[in-house]
Each structure stands twice: as C-alpha cells, then as structure tokens.
C-alpha cells in the first residue's frame, strides 16, 4: 500500500506534491478552464508505478481511455477499470475493463460496477487505486443536488476507508453557487482553475488542512 499518492505532475511549483491515502479532491472551475485535463493527469500520475485507475465517466469508456492514453504510455487492461454511464452499448475494450450502466442516475448500478472492478483489482494484486468521477456536473443534470450529495458522501467514504485517492470534476458555472459550495464541502481539498483576464490559465488550492494558496499561473 502507498504511504502517499504522488500528485506532483499536473500543478507546477510544488504546491501539491503528494496526498495521503483516503483523500478526496475536486477539480473545479468554469467551462473550458482545463478541469478535465488536470483531473485525468491526477488520475494517471501513479500509473507508471503500478497503481490502478477506476473511473466513472458520464461519457463513453472509449473517450476516457483515449484521453488517459495522452498521459500514459499505454493502458494495461489489468489496471484500468471504467464505469461507463453513457448508456451506449459498451464495446469490449482491449485496454480497459468496463462496466456499463444505463444512465448516470443508476447509482446502484454505478456502485455495483465500482465494487466489481475493485474486486478485480484486488484479485490482480493492484492495491493502490485512484478513483475518478468525471463529472459531478453531469450527475447534477440527472438528479437533485440532494441525491447527488448523499451519493457522493457515501462514495467519498468508500474511498477514504479503502485508502484510495478520489478525483472529481465539477463545473462551477453550470450550477447555482450555493449548490457548488455545498458539494465542495464533501471533499478534503479543492483544486480551483480559472482563466485570467489576459487569457492565462491559473489555479489555486484550498483545503487539505492547509492555508489556501493564491492564484498562480500554470
């Protein structure tokens, strides 16, 4: 088991280098601020050191695998599991185990998929897992924020009690600010992204029991 998860890739300047097992991190920001890319990099960072990736996606499994492959040499079916909630007929992938769920609102289906994949990882001796959920915003289009909140509370607890690392994305400009604040409260920390007035990508880090950082450029 990992003592810590290396997260030093995506954010420059040593702002966030490692996180303890059981940590849940949300990557948030407005549309087109690069959340998805940062989240995928966070998921992929430990891949070369034999960690596993278990990702719930509201897009197709193929899409997310293609995106992950931009950050790793090659995906190995034994260490990547995707829960595809897009409702498409899932095709068998060569580079990932997949579980198909009919809709993002099928929370029981999602939880069964996650439990199945985690058993697969266990039987293959993959003990360090990064869980992705991309994205919370899509779940919020299908269910009330109350239901999504309750689901995420249980889900984050699953991750903290199994010593994994959880990575989530949330679009800040597609929901009521109150809903965004309520959801943020579920996580140990937040990586917040924005585009500055001059068009530069910036980030800051809040939570994790530390002082918030100021906005910095990538």
The binding site for other proteins (CB under 8 A) comprises 107-108, 110-112, 114-116, 118-119, 141-147, 149-151, 153-155, 157-158, 161-162, 176-186
Residue 152: CB minimum distance to other proteins, A: 10
Residue placing its CB nearer to other proteins in the complex, 13 or 185: 185
Does residue 7 contact residue 42 with C-beta atoms inside 8 Å?
A: yes
Shortest distance in whole angstroms from residue 23 CB to other proteins = 15
* Closest approach of other proteins to the CB of residue 112, in Å: 6
Min dist. Cβ of residue 199 to other proteins (A): 27
71 versus 158: smaller Cβ distance to other proteins: 158
Q: In this complex, which beta carbon is closest to other proteins, that of residue 62 or of residue 114?
A: 114
CA distance linking residue 50 with residue 66, whole number of Å: 19
The full DSSP string for the chain is --SSEE-TTTSSTTSS-EE-TT-EEEEEESTTSSHHHHHHHHHHTTGGGT-EEEEEESS-HHHHHHHHTTTSS---GGGEEEEE-S-S-PPPPSSSEEEE-S-TT-HHHHHHHHHHHHHHHHHTT---EEEEEE-HHHHHHHS-HHHHHHHHHHHHHHHHHTT-EEEEEEETTSS-HHHHHHHHTTSSEEEEEEE-TTS-EEEEEEETTSPPPPPEE-
CB nearer to other proteins: give 64 or 129.
129
Residue 207 in tokens? 């939570």
Q: How far is the CB of 73 from other proteins (least distance, A)?
A: 31
Q: How many CA atoms lie within 13 A of 26 on its CB side?
A: 23
Nearer to other proteins by C-beta: 86 or 118?
A: 118
Least separation in angstroms between CB 163 and other proteins = 9
Beta carbon nearer to other proteins, 39 or 180: 180
């Amino acid at each position: 088991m990992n003592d810590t998860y290396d997260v030093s890739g995506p954010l420059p300047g040593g702002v966030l280098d490692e996180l303890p097992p059981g940590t849940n991190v949300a990557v948030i920001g407005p549309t087109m601020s690069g959340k998805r890319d940062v989240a995928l990099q966070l998921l992929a960072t430990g891949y070369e050191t034999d960690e596993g990736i278990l990702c719930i996606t509201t897009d197709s499994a193929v899409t997310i695998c293609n995106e992950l492959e931009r950050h790793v040499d090659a995906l190995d079916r034994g260490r990547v599991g995707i829960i595809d909630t897009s409702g498409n007929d899932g095709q068998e992938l060569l580079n990932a185990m997949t579980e198909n769920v009919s809709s993002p609102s099928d929370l029981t289906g999602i939880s069964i998929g996650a439990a199945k994949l985690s058993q697969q990882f266990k039987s293959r001796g993959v003990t360090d897992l990064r869980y992705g959920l991309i994205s919370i915003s899509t779940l919020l289009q299908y269910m009330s924020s109350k239901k999504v909140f309750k689901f995420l509370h249980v889900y984050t607890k699953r991750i903290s009690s199994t010593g994994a690392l959880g990575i989530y994305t949330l679009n800040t400009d597609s929901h009521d600010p109150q809903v965004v604040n309520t959801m943020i409260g579920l996580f140990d920390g937040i990586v917040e992204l924005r585009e500055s007035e001059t068009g530069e990508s910036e980030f800051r880090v809040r939570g994790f029991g530390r002082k918030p950082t100021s906005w910095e450029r990538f």
